[in-house]
Every structure is written in C-alpha cells, then in structure tokens.
Amino acid sequence: MGFADAAMGPASFLSEFYTSFWWIPAGVLAAALAIKLPTIIRLWTDPLLRAVGGLLLLACAVFVFVAPSTIVWVNRVTGVPNISAPWVYSLLTAFCGSCLVLIIAWRDGLPEHSASTRRATRWVVSVYGGVIAALWVLFALADVPVERTRDLDTYYARTPFMREEILLYLLAHTTASLVTAKLIRNWIRTDGLDAWLRWGLKFLGVGYALNLAFDAAKLTAVGARWTGHDLDWLSLHLAPALACLSAVSIAVGFILPHAGQYLHERWRIRLAHRRLRPLYRLMRTVHGSGVPPVLRASAELRLTRRETFIRDVLLPLARRTDERLRERSYAAALGLGFGPERARALAAAVVILDAVEDAGARDTGHGHGPDTTELLREIGAVSRALRHPDVIREVRARAVAPEDTTAVTE
C-alpha cells in the first residue's frame, strides 16, 4: 500500500495535465515536420526525405487522435462507441512499421538499390498491414458499449476479442521497438558516422527505449487486470508520460541531423565572413570604399561578395609584392616556431602590408613575377594573420634584419 501511495504521488500530479499534455508532443512533432518540410519540398524526389515527412505526420496524428477531446469527437462523429481505439491502434501500428522500414532503408540503402532492403520492407509491410487488418476485425467482434477515453486498455482488458486486440497492438509495438532499437544500437557503433547523425541516432535510441518502457507499463497494467489486481496507474499516468517523452526524443532524433548540419553550415559561413573582416578593412583603405550593401542578402551572398571584393582589390596589389621579402618572412616565421601553413599566411600578410604602404608601383626585378595564385586562394588564413599585428611586426623585423646588418657592415 505504501508503494502504491508513493507511485500515485507523481501519477496524480500528471493526471491533472492529462487532457492537455498530449498536445505537447503533437506540437513538437508538428514543429519537426515544419523544419523538415522546406527540404522535403525542395528535394521531393528523395524517397528517404518523403518517408521522414510521412513518419513525422503519422506520429503527429497519433498524438492528435489519442487526446481525450479528439477521442470523444471521433466517437461522436462516427456514432460508434470507442471506435477511436482501433483507429489510434492502427495509426500507432503504422507508425511502428514505418519507423522500422525507414531505419532499414536509412542504414542499408533504398529498396530499389538493395535486395535485402526490399525483402525486409515487404516483410514489415505485410506483417504490420496484417496486424492493422486484424485490429479492425477484432474490434468488430468485440462488445465495447461503454465509452472510455482514458482507461480503455485496462477497462476492457478481460473482454473477449478486445482483450486480444489490446494484446496484439502492444505486442506489435513492442516488437517494432525492440527491432528498431537493436538496429539503431548497431548503427551507432559503426565507424565514420557524421557527428550530427550519431547524436540523432542516440536520441532515437533513447526514444525507442522509452517506447519499450511504455509497453512494459501497459502490459503490466493489463496483466494485472487478468490476475484480478489493480495497477491501472501504470497505464493511466506513467505510460502517457513515457509516450510523450519518447515522441519528443524521436522527433529530435529525426530532425537533429538535418537541423544540426544546417545550423553548422550557417555558422561556418558567418564565421568565414567575420574572419575576413581584417583583410576586407585593409582592402577597403586601398580601394577607398567597401562592398555596397544589399537589402535582405543571404549569408552566402554576403560572404561571396566580400571574397570577390577582396580578390578584386588584392590582385593588382599582389602583383607588386616583394617575393624576396615574402621568402625571408616565411623563413623568419618558421624560425619563430610557427608551422608551415601559419608561416605562409604571416609572410603573405607582411608583403601585402608592405605593398599597401608603398605608394608607387614596385618593379620586382627578380627574374620572376610574384605568384598570386596561393595568395588569392588563402585569403582566409591571411586575414586571420592580420588579427595579430604584433606577430607580423616581429616577423617583418626578423625578415629585414639581415639586409640592415649587411648595409651597416659595408
């Protein structure tokens, strides 16, 4: 009795929000679908993206139709008490089968490209299609006249045919969750996965583990009814909370790889734009003006315009850089302990500043013109080097020191 009282503490707290908290995962799933929708529309020919969209739509439908207010509405519209039960069970079964098919195709390749995926897809579709058909047959045979919006599973747990229907949908859900969780677990262990995909799979794994906990709670409550005991709180309060957490975790798992990669790309572009600021400001002093602003320009366009402006101004400037100064600056940077890549950037920064300070065109006269290819290609590294003027001054001082010493000696 003490255990039951303790359990009913959080359970009774959850029951206060029962009528409304089904809409929380529905909202999260709808948001996930909205995030995915532009990509799905843009890449409509991609079957995997279409499948993800359909899966999120199915999951959202499950939580919309399992809400007590929707259950009452469906029952009233159809005029059949408890017809929401086979409808929700069918949606849930279809969702489970779709998850299984998607994970198989996601991991092993599309059915048209993989014989094993085709076989697995046919097996899942036939089995879960049969389960959905059986759910409706069993409901037609059952006698369930009393409408139950919250406790149908336990209320009719001992009713002929409805008993079998409840057990069938729970076993189908448990089997799909077990198989999907195992596939995800094996996939996470694969080497070479994208970091965002790996995190998405981890959230999916958590979601399906919570699904298994949901099934355990439901089966325990139903089994208790069969033996004459009352553990309805597991089905009434714990299972819905687990279902909501599972839905949120699965939604995050499906959107994280896409959203994470998208946000990472946006951050990379904005960071590249910001890192070009020192070199852009230097080129603006040479040119006399900067890039004209464009209203509502995308981050990609702003980066491209800045890169183009820098290269356009830098090209004539780079043609009069002192190649010997660049070579000495590179050797000086190496002598200061910098790696080859950073040393090249520092040397380029030295000769660019030298060319900017030189008002007239310099005739290099060294038998070969300066190589501008690498300089124009590595503007990002050069710009980062310009953020450290003290280091550039030290490199330049070391680079010109041998000439000064020779002049004094003579």
pLDDT at 361: 46
Q: Give residue 389's Cα distance to chain centre.
A: 39
Cα gap 169→89, rounded to integer Å? 6
3-state secondary structure 11-44: HHHHHCCHHHHCHHHHHHHHHHHHHHHHHHHHCC
**b/e sequence 70-85, b meaning 16+ C-beta within 10 Å:** bbeebbeeeeeebbbb
Measured N-to-C along each axis, helices 379-386 and 340-357 cross at an angle, to the nearest 10 degrees, of 70
Q: How many CB atoms lie within 10 A of CB 111?
A: 18
- What is the value of pTM for the model shown? 0.70
How do residues 153-163 score in pLDDT, each as one tens digit? 999 999 999 99
pLDDT at 134: 96
All residue ranges of the chain with pLDDT < 70 are: 1-22, 43, 107-113, 359-374, 402-410
pLDDT at 2: 43
Cα gap 27→190, rounded to integer Å? 33
Q: Give residue 401's Cα distance to chain centre.
A: 54
